């Protein structure tokens, strides 16, 4: 055929083959802090995610993860994700990691679309203005402690709905598969991305410092523990928690007062 690579490349036309579109979808996670009626009680912590209400076909009026099409000429998938986040919540330089690539043949009714998903973590307090009016934070509540049937309630203050799935774990590879059993409000296969992303974060906060991307600069160990508990959806023992977290935090000279109980020392994240 061709004698040199240059010659080959000059004659190569990608349009001779079937092509496809790709999107980046972002699971943006943060922590909500809900004031309690009882002044003594500590603020409740919940994991929350950003959803966007679609005002175009397909899945018009359903909620979905922020996402958008890759520009194949200029962008990496992470570039796309960053561009979308900038647009939706006006945020830059936040933590992001690739989650998984979703590629069911019929996952998008428009055409063949393969989507690479990303997990992004942020301290919600940093987001103040210029959030897309169609975007909204939903607090997550894990309804079941059951490890097989996972029920999640999503609530943004005015809308509330549930997604449910059956989780199965392959014995040998420990890889997790989710079979969606309930979903009336979320578009595409995005519920699966949510389930998988939470799984990833749950695993990783046990052996990484990922939580701190969602924490404010100063926090108490009690708050930090509540955040762990919200993500893992289980109670932790205080002494054990403090022992294991000790190497990751640094005590400050500040304390948090005015709360009807012994004031707690404020800590910051200690790298390394």
Residue numbers at the binding site for its own copies (CB under 8 A): 2, 5, 8-9, 12, 14, 17-22, 57-58, 60, 69-78, 95, 97-98, 100-101, 103-105, 109-112, 114, 116, 171-175, 204, 207-210, 212-213, 271-272
**Which listed option, its own copies, DNA, none, makes contact with residue 272 (CB within 5 to 8 Å by class)?**
its own copies
195-201, Cβ contacts within 8 angstroms, sequence gap of 24 or more: 195/150, 195/163, 195/165, 195/167, 196/99, 196/100, 196/117, 197/27, 197/29, 197/99, 197/117, 197/119, 198/47, 198/140, 198/231, 200/99, 200/119, 201/29, 201/119, 201/121, 201/231
* Cα distance between residue 208 and residue 214, in whole Å: 13
- Residue 12 site contact among DNA, its own copies, none (CB < 5 to 8 Å, cut-off depends on kind): its own copies
The half-sphere exposure of 183 on its side-chain side, counting CA atoms within 13 A, is 22
By C-beta, is 5 or 145 nearer to its own copies?
A: 5
Closest distance of CB 151 from its own copies, Å: 26
Both tokens of residue 156? 């943004």
Q: Looking at beta carbons only, is 9 or 237 nearer to DNA? A: 237
Picked from DNA, its own copies, none, the partner binding residue 100 (CB below 5 to 8 A depending on kind) is its own copies
Point out which residues bind DNA (CB under 7 A).
Answer: 38-42, 220-223, 237-240, 242-244, 255, 257-265
DSSP states of 226-243: HHHHHHHTS---HHHHHH
**Greatest distance between any 2 Cα atoms in the chain:** 82
Q: Which is nearer to its own copies, 20 or 255 (CB)?
A: 20
- State the binding partner of 240 from its own copies, DNA, none, CB within 5 to 8 A by kind: DNA
Looking at the Cβ atoms of 10 and 243, the one nearer to DNA is 243
């Amino acid at each position: 055929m061709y004698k040199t690579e240059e010659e080959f490349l000059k004659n190569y036309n990608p349009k001779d083959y079937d092509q496809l579109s790709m999107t980046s979808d972002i699971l943006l996670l943060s922590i909500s802090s809900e004031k309690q009626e009882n002044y003594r009680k500590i603020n409740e912590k919940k994991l929350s995610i950003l959803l966007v209400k679609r005002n175009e076909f397909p899945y018009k009026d359903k909620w979905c993860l922020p996402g958008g099409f890759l520009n194949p000429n200029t962008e990496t998938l992470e570039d796309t994700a960053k561009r979308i986040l900038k647009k939706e919540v006006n945020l830059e330089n936040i933590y992001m990691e690739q989650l998984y690539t979703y590629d069911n043949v019929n996952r998008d009714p428009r055409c063949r679309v393969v989507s690479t998903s990303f997990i992004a973590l942020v301290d919600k307090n940093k987001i103040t203005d210029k959030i897309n009016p169609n975007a909204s934070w939903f607090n997550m509540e894990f309804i079941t402690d059951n490890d097989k049937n996972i029920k999640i309630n999503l609530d943004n203050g005015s809308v509330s709905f549930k997604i449910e799935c059956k989780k199965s774990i392959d014995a040998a590879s420990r890889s997790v598969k989710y079979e969606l059993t309930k979903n009336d409000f979320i578009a595409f296969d995005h519920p699966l991305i949510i389930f998988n992303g939470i799984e990833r974060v749950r695993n990783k906060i046990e052996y990484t410092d990922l939580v701190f991307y969602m924490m404010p600069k100063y926090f108490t160990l009690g708050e930090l523990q509540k955040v762990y508990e919200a993500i893992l959806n289980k109670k932790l023992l205080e002494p054990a928690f403090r022992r294991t977290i000790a190497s990751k935090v640094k005590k400050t000279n500040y304390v948090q007062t005015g709360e009807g109980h012994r004031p707690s020392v404020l800590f910051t994240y200690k790298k390394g």
